[in-house]
Chains A and B, each alone.
Chain A
Amino acid sequence: MSRDGLVRIPDEVQGQSHARITAIVIVTLFLLVTAGTGLVDSLWPLPFPKLMGEEKLLDRRLRERVRFSDGTAARLVERNCRLRSRIRRLVSQDYTFALFWLLDEAKETVVVGADKWLFLTSRVYPFSDSDHRVAHTAARLAALDRRLSDSGIHLVVAPIPRKSVIYKSYLPRGIDPQPHLDRLFLDELRVRGVHSVDLLTPFTAHAAETLYYRNGAHWTPRAEAIAAEAVCREAGILIPEARRSSEMKVTGREPEDLDILRFLGLELSDTKTLRERRFRRFFADQTVDSYEVFDIETGLVADRSPEGMKRISIFGTSFTALRRFPRFIAHFAGEPVWNRAEPGGNIGRLLFSVLRNTSLVRSPELIILEIPNCQAVREGPSRIAGELFTLLQPTKYATIVEHDQFDLAQRMHEPFQCTHARRRVAALPPGVVAHSADGIVSVRLAGRVSGGTIGIEVNSNYGDVTVPWSPDQSELIVPVLGYAPSTQTRIYTKASESRKASLTLQLHDIQLVTDLNYTTAEAGIIGSITRDGTRWIEEIGFERAVPESSFAALELRLEARGPFSGSVEITVTSSDRTREELIVPVKKIRRRGIIVLNLRALEGAPLASVRVVGGGRSPNSVVKHARIVEKLDYST
């Protein structure tokens, strides 16, 4: 360092005689390596790699959103250079392999476990709020279940346990995949009454049989067979073995699926090159039992033609698409299965694309929805598209709250400008209605949209859903969703980012509604307030508490007299002792508020009792009216 703090460099190369030659060699080498790589990659680039699954989706999203001004175009150029770099391909493959082989080293996208088991990082580490994400996904599925049942479709959800949970023992020390989340997802579905298949229990029991590939992200044929049988049993379509026209047996051994190696940086697409043959040899010792089903030639390849629709259809991701899982279901159910799964597919969008198809010869009677838990745990609700709720509008509804109780940003019938930024159209003051936030309550918007399609976001404070509203629709019924019971409802608009024209919304009516049939409601008998230690209890009985439908709800209209904190806990007990009590905490409800609780989890079982419990000083009375309301077949 010189006195002025600047780096001190002699003007000439000094010292030994070869110093000048060394300098020339080093400079030439530096320029050759940098400029040479650029030249080779520019003049002889590799073809763009074939992207699969989520990579493909991400790539599409990136290209859709690309702009010059915000630098995304530059990122795309960088990415393309990287993916098409011949030099990179040449040098990084051996380097990657050496790191993996010698040091168990991998990129951040892959976790290397014991015995070189590989796990995708994104499927190992949940988010800090994964508990909420799981519950929110379950709430969306519960709302979807209600809407599908309106169309006569039975939904069965099959959550696939994570490899990192079943084979947790292979994970490196210190990595916690939070296995409770996989169980939680099942519990959250069950508590909302969504018909779901517990694959966690059989998978844990059969873990020794290699249910997931060591170097692959997917399940083995053995796991597919176990899952298919469990799904068919749960859905009530399992036929006895004697009636099955096909035969399932182990036909030998087959090589492992090595799809995680791509994330590691090893491309095994080209078996001709010496390097890739060497890589394959290294992984060749890993084989699994190969299962095959004979005589039913259906289900393996996705059938997307509307004419091909069968009674049973399956929607899902790469765990279903191009695998044997649908064929195994067909085997256990004894009938063909219509397979509409896509690698990395957004299940909501897949469902939407099928159900909106007017040329569909018939609707499926049973939809099996395969959801990998890694999606429920990490990405959560974004995977179930809002468009579905626009498409599956309830055929009938009953009003709970009229428009005069809403705070409106603009007066009714006046045009409301929609912008790229989220703008609030209306909100229901907190505490007016408390509900399960799983589609039992919806916001009904009547009005006119002009200038193009707008996005309507309904936010419950514990979650949200965004649905499109197009100019040809005069009414939209959007479920209010969240991961916990909510007393808040806010409605926002947002124009799509690519939209340049002026978008307006003229609201003619706004209500909070439910798809339940109030005319057949069963009224409850409200007892007087009693005390139990520090708590007060108000018991409600029913003369005939047997819901006819599995889609039932409990409605409590409050008119609290005396001291009332606004926080209560509702406990619903079924006379069916095998069912757990339904306990729902409600916070910040008004004295004259309404509570609507989903009884779907009871699946039509009779109610033994309903108790409203609170703390602090006892009020004189709380509930004014209580009744069980049901969703019956409106067509009868």
Chain B
Amino acid sequence: MIFASSVFLYYFLPLFLVVYYLSPSSFKSYAIALFSYVFYGWWRPDFVILMLVSTVVDYSCGRGIMRDRASGTRGKRWVAASAITNLTLLGYFKYANFGIDSFNHIFRYFGISPIAWPEIVLPIGISFYTFQTMSYTIDVYRGTSPPVRNFRDFMCYVALFPQLIAGPIVRYNSVADQLHERNHTLAKFYRGVLFFQIGFAKKVLIADTIAPIADRAFELVTLSTLDSWVGVFAFAIQLFFDFSGYSDMAIGLGLMMGFRFPINFNKPYRAVSITDIWRRWHITLSAFLRDYLYISLGGNRKGAIRIYFNLTVTMVLCGLWHGAAWTYAVFGLYHGALLILERQLGKKAPYARAPIPIQILLTFILWLFGLAIFKCPTVSSGFAYIGRMLGLTSNGLAGASLVIRPAHAVAGIIGASIVWLAPASHEMVPRARLPVIVLLQVLFMWALVHLHYQDHVPFIYYQF
């Protein structure tokens, strides 16, 4: 089920809120778990089993660690068991097709018959909930969080539907206390509604409206230089409003149930460097990779070469986390290289001494080059697209390949204004004055009408 759908908005959410608020405190977690399974199973009922397996395994591992710790050992085997189980599930469902395809490509090159392999369906959100369950076991092992008190709370944590399939990645230690005890106030619910309305309007009015431009630009082989820039800019706007819109809705829904979730976006396109952008874009993923991968690899502690190696590995895996394709690996590698370069040059970086607006512009342009590879189906088509952006196209500087209708232009301009001028949702909601609130209601109603009008458009990050 997706948030921007009639079934969720008009049936699931009201019913859930009624059941949730009528349930006694001890049953609230059950209500969340039950509705979350329905929410997830709506897409593929059979894959709920997969999530349950992950839940049971990590719950058992957490218990195992505590038992081992009581008997004087650290419980490393339980962390290993959790990592093996989760990474095996993730590897099979997310990366098996990619691996076999890559091998078959090599086999065909050498004239060897390819491996016959039935296509595996990727369970939506597997990267999110697998990371979350693993974070629990690791946090318990490291002693940064206490183990969950009962299975009910853990079920609720893993399945928590607002952030289940497209983030933000909620680490166990962020919500451990809230799972057990949280307060439900009008203020929270009200702010939750505002967050949800902002996210919904972002998704439906901006991201979905501008999406056809991005999709069309990346479909076309014959594209002028100007059109290719318009296409990748449209994709940058679409991606930000789609994903940050989802995160806002998730935070809003969390608040309606009394949870405080982590902020996932903090004006990323106003970053002054690539290092800065990764502190502002998908913050929960960056933090997860920093704490559980980069630092585990040695972080900044083992000399320059090792730092660069750690950065490269972390960013390539960050790229591959988004999807099983070489384009994502190259996207990660590109960002890894930029991070190394920025680290090496420090204040000598060409844009470090430029005025802030120029730094923002240059960072955004570097980001767009990365997105061109991110969006294309193959690495070669990604490089071909970058070639078109750099003028290596027979279609001239400003050929007419893209059909830009007034609605696209309006969505693009408003989107760009919000990106570079407006405060972030988490800054706006707590301080919202009446005119802003009224405007938000108008936008929300408009978005609801637009949802009735448009056909189903899934969130981009569902596929990750």
Q: Is B4 an interface position by the 8 A CB rule?
A: no
Contact B10 A27 (CB under 8 A): no
Q: Is A335 an interface position by the 8 A CB rule?
A: no
Per-residue CB contact flags for chain A residues 471-515 toward chain B (1 = under 8 Å, else 0) read 000000000000000000000000000000000000000000000
Contact B6 A99 (CB under 8 A): no
Distance, CA A317 to CA B185, complexed state (A): 61
Most buried by A among B14, B174, B195, B437: B14
- Which one of B183, B186, B255 contacts A7 once the chains associate, using CB atoms below 8 Å? B255
The answer to whether residues A88 and B6 also contact, given A13-B186, A34-B13, A175-B403 and a CB cut-off of 8 A, is yes
**In the complex, what residues of B have CB within 8 A of residue A274's CB?**
none
The answer to whether residues A24 and B186 also contact, given A6-B174, A74-B43, A85-B6 and a CB cut-off of 8 A, is yes
**In the complex, what residues of B have CB within 8 A of residue A33's CB?**
445, 448
Interface set, chain B 246-293, CB cutoff 8 A to A: 251, 255, 260-263, 266, 283-284, 287
Q: Is B355 an interface position by the 8 A CB rule?
A: no
The answer to whether residues A9 and B403 also contact, given A33-B445, A37-B10 and a CB cut-off of 8 A, is no
**In the complex, what residues of A have CB within 8 A of residue B251's CB?**
7
**In the complex, what residues of A have CB within 8 A of residue B109's CB?**
none
> Separation in Å of the B380 CB from the closest CB of chain A?
16
> Separation in Å of the B445 CB from the closest CB of chain A?
7
Contact A104 B45 (CB under 8 A): no
**In the complex, what residues of B have CB within 8 A of residue A74's CB?**
1, 42-43
Contact B9 A34 (CB under 8 A): yes
Q: Is A252 an interface position by the 8 A CB rule?
A: no
Contact B183 A91 (CB under 8 A): no
Partner-binding segment picked from A76-84, A318-326, A392-400: A76-84
Tally A-B pairs: CB < 8 A: 154
Q: Is B353 an interface position by the 8 A CB rule?
A: no
**In the complex, what residues of A have CB within 8 A of residue B195's CB?**
7
The answer to whether residues A9 and B261 also contact, given A41-B10, A81-B6, A107-B453 and a CB cut-off of 8 A, is no
Q: Is B406 an interface position by the 8 A CB rule?
A: yes
The answer to whether residues A38 and B10 also contact, given A69-B46, A71-B45, A105-B407 and a CB cut-off of 8 A, is yes
Distance, CA A24 to CA B186, complexed state (A): 8
Contact B44 A173 (CB under 8 A): no
> Separation in Å of the B192 CB from the closest CB of chain A?
8
**In the complex, what residues of A have CB within 8 A of residue B449's CB?**
91-92, 95
**In the complex, what residues of A have CB within 8 A of residue B369's CB?**
none
Q: Is B198 an interface position by the 8 A CB rule?
A: no
Interface set, chain B 294-328, CB cutoff 8 A to A: none
**In the complex, what residues of A have CB within 8 A of residue B454's CB?**
107
Contact B403 A172 (CB under 8 A): yes
Q: Is A240 an interface position by the 8 A CB rule?
A: no
Q: Is A47 an interface position by the 8 A CB rule?
A: no
Q: Is B400 an interface position by the 8 A CB rule?
A: yes
Contact B452 A85 (CB under 8 A): yes
Contact B7 A11 (CB under 8 A): no
Q: Is B383 an interface position by the 8 A CB rule?
A: no
Contact A78 B283 (CB under 8 A): no
**In the complex, what residues of A have CB within 8 A of residue B255's CB?**
7, 9
Distance, CA A20 to CA B186, complexed state (A): 9
Distance, CA A54 to CA B157, complexed state (A): 45
Distance, CA A10 to CA B429, complexed state (A): 11
Q: Is A51 an interface position by the 8 A CB rule?
A: no
**In the complex, what residues of A have CB within 8 A of residue B189's CB?**
27
> Separation in Å of the B5 CB from the closest CB of chain A?
7
Q: Is A4 an interface position by the 8 A CB rule?
A: yes
Q: Is B145 an interface position by the 8 A CB rule?
A: no
Distance, CA A38 to CA B42, complexed state (A): 18
Contact B174 A9 (CB under 8 A): no
- Which one of A10, A13, A71, A104 contacts B42 once the chains associate, using CB atoms below 8 Å? A71
Distance, CA A81 to CA B197, complexed state (A): 22
Contact A95 B405 (CB under 8 A): no
Q: Is A421 an interface position by the 8 A CB rule?
A: yes
Distance, CA A436 to CA B161, complexed state (A): 57
Q: Is A29 an interface position by the 8 A CB rule?
A: yes
Q: Is B194 an interface position by the 8 A CB rule?
A: yes
Distance, CA A175 to CA B400, complexed state (A): 9
Distance, CA A4 to CA B183, complexed state (A): 18
Contact B406 A104 (CB under 8 A): yes
Contact A11 B188 (CB under 8 A): yes
Contact A173 B406 (CB under 8 A): no
Residue of B at shortest CB range from A173? B400
Q: Is A208 an interface position by the 8 A CB rule?
A: no
Distance, CA A30 to CA B185, complexed state (A): 16
Q: Is A584 an interface position by the 8 A CB rule?
A: no
Distance, CA A547 to CA B384, complexed state (A): 53
Binding site for B on A (CB under 8 A): 1, 4-14, 18, 20, 22-24, 26-27, 29-31, 33-35, 37-38, 41-42, 68-71, 74, 77-78, 81-82, 85, 87-88, 91-92, 95-96, 99, 103-105, 107-109, 112, 172-175, 265, 421
6 contacts between A and B (CB under 8 A): A7-B251, A22-B437, A33-B448, A38-B15, A71-B43, A91-B452
Binding site for A on B (CB under 8 A): 1, 5-7, 9-11, 13-15, 17, 42-46, 118, 174, 183, 185-191, 193-197, 212, 251, 255, 260-263, 266, 283-284, 287, 400-403, 405-407, 426, 429-430, 434, 437, 441, 444-445, 448-450, 452-456
Instruction: Please list the 5 inter-chain residue pairs (A to B) with the smallest Cβ-Cβ separation, ordered nearest first.
Output: A35-B14, A38-B10, A23-B190, A92-B452, A88-B452
